[in-house]
Chain A
Amino acid sequence: MAEIEIRKLRKDFGDFTAVQSSSFRVEDGEFFMLLGPSGCGKTTTLRMIAGLELPTSGEILIDGENVAQKPARERDIAFVFQMFALYPHMNVRRNISYPLISQGMKRAQVREKITEVARILGIEHILDHPVGGLSGGDRQRVALGRAIVRQPKAFLMDEPLGALDTEFREHMAEELRALHDRMGATTVYVTHDQLEAMQMGDKIVVMNHGVIEQYGTPQDIYDKSATMFVADFIGSPPMNFLRFSSSVEAGATGVALHHATLPLPAMRVPFDGDMAYGIRPEHVRLSDDGVYRGEVIATEYLGPNQIVTLLAPNGEVKARIPSDQIARVGEVVGMDFDGTRATLFDNQTGHALASDLNEGVLSHG
């Protein structure tokens, strides 16, 4: 298995820069997510790692060897596409064994490999079935089987669950992750689905417009979002932003807004100008004493908790609160914010300002 290191990777298509200057490192055995909206450069990055695109500049090191300008077949990497491309006229066994036979592997050895892969994927019973009649899940498993049978150094996956419906997708996501845990293979996985990324990834790279916005563990990216883009892209509902103009000193643990003081983790830097106070829905409480107030405009029941949407002087605020707490549409209520979990952003650049909460994470960039 392999360690993959990306250094200052860039890809231009004519005048368009798909990937600007990406650097990150995938540790051996990691399940690594490239996350972002469509057009952010995540698939281009993956295709460069695979060797399906050659970078304009930069390095791709697989186990220390720069393969950036090498053809795909010399990289020993398996690519799993969004659409499971199976040979429709062959049965499951032949589909999976195809990569081995084309490598010239001996029959007995092929049979042994197929048995092992089928066991890992739980598809022993359909080995002799034609792929035509298989369910979506089984087709997906066969496609995976074909990727893992050659035991490549790493797996690259481009939204392999994208075409599946929600319920099944969740199930396959768990299965994929469990498979990874059994095999321990380095995997780079592209998705636009933040929940999928959080759920499956050991580490996440968040991309936007060809630029890496943040790189880290799921929980760090969620708790200590480095930019407003990340804070908004991750989380459902996403982070609330209250936008206003004010100033804070280094060391301040709050920022003045109207008659209220919004609590903050101790700031490490001063700031003066247009800012956004970022607070996640679960860190907003409704409280009669809250000085900062808003009108309830919607409530959404979600079982044990509910999402309450409030219209406040600086925009909409969503709060995630227990379902047994009553909130009525039309009511004006006070809000309390958990300051230790808040982030202050420079509203112009979108960058988080350093505080006791996020210091140490921001520099990873």
Chain B
Amino acid sequence: MAEVMLDSVSKSFGSTRAVEAIDLTIPDGGFVVLLGPTGAGKTTTLRLIAGVEKPDAGDIVIAGRSVLADTPAQRNVAMVFQQYSLYPHMSVRDNLAFPLRSPILRTPEDEITRKVAEVAEVLHIAHKLDNKATELSGGEMQRVSIGRALVRSPSIYLMDEPLSSLDAKLRAELRIELKRIHAQLGATLLYVTHDQIEAMTMASHVGVLDKGRPVQFGSPREIYEKPASLYVAQRLGLPRINALPAGLFPAAPAGAATIGLRPEHVEQGKGKTATVSRVEHLGDQTRLHLILEGHAIVTLADVHTDLEAGDEIAIQPRNPLYFDASGNRIA
């Protein structure tokens, strides 16, 4: 495994700037998740590292050496895609062994056997090794595609939304599994997603991208608790942070244009009177939709609250975040 560094890398497609002067270091052994909406430049960044795209400017350094001149194969990266791409006519065993049998790697057969067994064990698919790829469930197929990356010992694993085509249960299971595999193998991982749960639960570091630019890099906790901007604050947290005019509540600092209230930043029982517009019972939590002077606010209530639409409650901010007119956090 190795450290991977992007030094002011830019890439345009025609007049569209996909990635703009990205500086990013993926530490050796790190699990870095790039988070952003569609079009933020996540996948392009991944493809630039893999060598499938060439940057217009900047340098890409793997283990201390520039790899710009290297082919994708020479870069020794392993990629996992959103859609599992298995050879349907081959067994799981042969699918897993395939990358090791490539003419470049020329792995001895006994080592292939050992590697495949090891990876199958890690991914809990050992009992399926002799099945055809087509006999697997969706979750198993995606495990095999991940396994195909894991059998190799690349400098970095690049994963492009590998869980997005799976149902919620499997996603939850594989999230934990990926994290465990990462810890077990000490692998370096760059993972791209628009799913904030994946970013928060798996990453050692999250890089938030906005229109091709990294806007914040830090641990999930730092990003959640100390977002650099309103844009970042809106990327993490469910229900989403409430962004309201700073003047709605007293005591806004000078220069504040927006007050950012996460649901847990809304204190009930004191302050201004808001009207309940809707109560959502989600089981483990109950969401209150409030209207305060024409502004919609979402917060949480006791799970078995008696509040209902039309009721009034007093609310005030508790440890809120403040942003200036351009969206940067000032307090």
Query: Is the beta-carbon distance between A219 and B283 smaller than 8 angstroms?
Result: yes
Per-residue CB proximity of B162-177 to A under 8 Å, as 1/0? 0000001100100110
Query: Is the beta-carbon distance between A219 and B281 smaller than 8 angstroms?
Result: yes
Q: Is B186 among interface residues, defined by CB-CB distance under 8 A?
A: no
Query: Is the beta-carbon distance between B237 and A303 smaller than 8 angstroms?
Result: yes
The 3 closest A-B pairs by CB, nearest first: A222-B283, A300-B201, A219-B281
Query: Is the beta-carbon distance between A280 and B284 smaller than 8 angstroms?
Result: yes
Q: When chains A and B are docked, how far (Å) is the Cα of A195 from the Cα of B281?
A: 10
Q: Is B236 among interface residues, defined by CB-CB distance under 8 A?
A: yes
Residues of chain A contacted by B169 (CB below 8 angstroms): 238
Residues of chain A contacted by B197 (CB below 8 angstroms): 302
- Min CB distance B203 to A, Å, is 9
Query: Is the beta-carbon distance between B224 and A222 smaller than 8 angstroms?
Result: no
Query: Is the beta-carbon distance between A298 and B281 smaller than 8 angstroms?
Result: no
Query: Is the beta-carbon distance between B179 and A298 smaller than 8 angstroms?
Result: yes
A-B contact pairs, 21 of them (CB 8 A): A165-B194, A166-B194, A167-B37, A167-B194, A195-B282, A198-B280, A198-B281, A198-B282, A222-B284, A235-B283, A235-B284, A236-B172, A300-B176, A300-B201, A301-B201, A301-B224, A302-B200, A302-B201, A303-B200, A303-B224, A303-B237
Residues of chain B contacted by A261 (CB below 8 angstroms): none
Q: Is A122 among interface residues, defined by CB-CB distance under 8 A?
A: no
Query: Is the beta-carbon distance between B283 and A218 smaller than 8 angstroms?
Result: yes
Residues of chain A contacted by B179 (CB below 8 angstroms): 298
Report A213-272 residues with CB < 8 Å from chain B CB: 217-219, 222-223, 234-238
Residues of chain B contacted by A280 (CB below 8 angstroms): 283-284
Residues of chain A contacted by B220 (CB below 8 angstroms): 301
Q: When chains A and B are docked, how far (Å) is the Cα of A29 from the Cα of B282?
A: 21
Query: Is the beta-carbon distance between A320 and B180 smaller than 8 angstroms?
Result: no
Residues of chain B contacted by A235 (CB below 8 angstroms): 283-284
Knowing A199-B282, A235-B284, A302-B200, the reply to whether A219 touches B180 (Cβ < 8 A) is: no
Residues of chain A contacted by B283 (CB below 8 angstroms): 198, 218-219, 222-223, 234-235, 280
Q: When chains A and B are docked, how far (Å) is the Cα of A181 from the Cα of B310?
A: 13
Query: Is the beta-carbon distance between B168 and A199 smaller than 8 angstroms?
Result: no
Q: When chains A and B are docked, how far (Å) is the Cα of A239 from the Cα of B182?
A: 27
**CB nearest neighbor in A for B296:** A174
Interface residues of B (CB under 8 A from A): 37-38, 168-169, 172, 175-176, 179-180, 183, 194-195, 197, 200-202, 220-221, 224, 236-238, 262, 264, 278, 280-284, 286, 303-304
Report A299-325 residues with CB < 8 Å from chain B CB: 300-304, 307, 309, 320, 323
Query: Is the beta-carbon distance between B168 and A236 smaller than 8 angstroms?
Result: yes
Query: Is the beta-carbon distance between B281 and A320 smaller than 8 angstroms?
Result: no
Residues of chain B contacted by A194 (CB below 8 angstroms): 168
Q: When chains A and B are docked, how far (Å) is the Cα of A112 from the Cα of B238?
A: 40
**CB nearest neighbor in A for B264:** A304
Knowing A223-B283, A280-B284, the reply to whether A303 touches B236 (Cβ < 8 A) is: yes
Query: Is the beta-carbon distance between A298 and B172 smaller than 8 angstroms?
Result: no
Query: Is the beta-carbon distance between A218 and B201 smaller than 8 angstroms?
Result: no
Knowing A198-B283, A218-B282, A222-B283, the reply to whether A300 touches B194 (Cβ < 8 A) is: no
Query: Is the beta-carbon distance between B280 and A199 smaller than 8 angstroms?
Result: yes
Residues of chain A contacted by B238 (CB below 8 angstroms): 303
Interface centre among A166, A217, A304 (most CB of B within 10 A): A304
**CB nearest neighbor in B for A193:** B168
- Min CB distance B30 to A, Å, is 16
Knowing A199-B280, A219-B304, the reply to whether A301 touches B194 (Cβ < 8 A) is: no
Q: When chains A and B are docked, how far (Å) is the Cα of A323 from the Cα of B38?
A: 29
Q: When chains A and B are docked, how far (Å) is the Cα of A356 from the Cα of B179?
A: 40
Query: Is the beta-carbon distance between B281 and A218 smaller than 8 angstroms?
Result: yes
Q: When chains A and B are docked, how far (Å) is the Cα of A135 from the Cα of B172?
A: 30
**CB nearest neighbor in B for A198:** B282
Q: When chains A and B are docked, how far (Å) is the Cα of A155 from the Cα of B179?
A: 44
Interface centre among B200, B264, B281 (most CB of A within 10 A): B281
Q: Is A281 among interface residues, defined by CB-CB distance under 8 A?
A: yes
Residues of chain B contacted by A177 (CB below 8 angstroms): 278
Q: When chains A and B are docked, how far (Å) is the Cα of A280 from the Cα of B175?
A: 20
Query: Is the beta-carbon distance between A282 and B284 smaller than 8 angstroms?
Result: yes
Q: When chains A and B are docked, how far (Å) is the Cα of A307 from the Cα of B236?
A: 16
Report A44-93 residues with CB < 8 Å from chain B CB: none
- Min CB distance A179 to B, Å, is 13
Residues of chain A contacted by B195 (CB below 8 angstroms): 166
Query: Is the beta-carbon distance between B180 and A298 smaller than 8 angstroms?
Result: yes
Q: When chains A and B are docked, how far (Å) is the Cα of A193 from the Cα of B169?
A: 11
Other-chain residue from B38, B202, B224, B262 in contact with A165 (beta carbon distance below 8 A): B38
**CB nearest neighbor in B for A38:** B167
Q: When chains A and B are docked, how far (Å) is the Cα of A195 from the Cα of B278?
A: 16
Query: Is the beta-carbon distance between A300 and B175 smaller than 8 angstroms?
Result: yes
Given contacts A194-B168, A237-B172, A300-B201, 16 further A-B contacts (CB under 8 A): A165-B194, A166-B194, A177-B278, A198-B281, A219-B283, A222-B283, A222-B284, A234-B283, A235-B283, A236-B168, A300-B176, A301-B220, A303-B200, A303-B237, A303-B262, A329-B183
Residues of chain A contacted by B202 (CB below 8 angstroms): 300
Q: When chains A and B are docked, how far (Å) is the Cα of A314 from the Cα of B197?
A: 28
Q: When chains A and B are docked, how far (Å) is the Cα of A292 from the Cα of B22?
A: 50
Q: When chains A and B are docked, how far (Å) is the Cα of A320 from the Cα of B282?
A: 15
Q: When chains A and B are docked, how far (Å) is the Cα of A29 from the Cα of B236?
A: 35
- Min CB distance A169 to B, Å, is 12
Residues of chain A contacted by B280 (CB below 8 angstroms): 198-199
- Min CB distance A137 to B, Å, is 14
Query: Is the beta-carbon distance between A301 and B278 smaller than 8 angstroms?
Result: no
Query: Is the beta-carbon distance between A298 and B176 smaller than 8 angstroms?
Result: yes
Q: When chains A and B are docked, how far (Å) is the Cα of A222 from the Cα of B280?
A: 13
**CB nearest neighbor in A for B285:** A282
Query: Is the beta-carbon distance between A301 and B180 smaller than 8 angstroms?
Result: no
Residues of chain A contacted by B304 (CB below 8 angstroms): 219
- Min CB distance A241 to B, Å, is 14
Q: When chains A and B are docked, how far (Å) is the Cα of A276 from the Cα of B17?
A: 56
Q: When chains A and B are docked, how far (Å) is the Cα of A195 from the Cα of B172?
A: 14
Q: When chains A and B are docked, how far (Å) is the Cα of A181 from the Cα of B276?
A: 14
Q: When chains A and B are docked, how far (Å) is the Cα of A188 from the Cα of B236?
A: 32
**CB nearest neighbor in A for B263:** A304
Residues of chain A contacted by B175 (CB below 8 angstroms): 300
Residues of chain B contacted by A300 (CB below 8 angstroms): 175-176, 200-202
Interface centre among A181, A198, A238 (most CB of B within 10 A): A198
Query: Is the beta-carbon distance between B281 and A217 smaller than 8 angstroms?
Result: yes
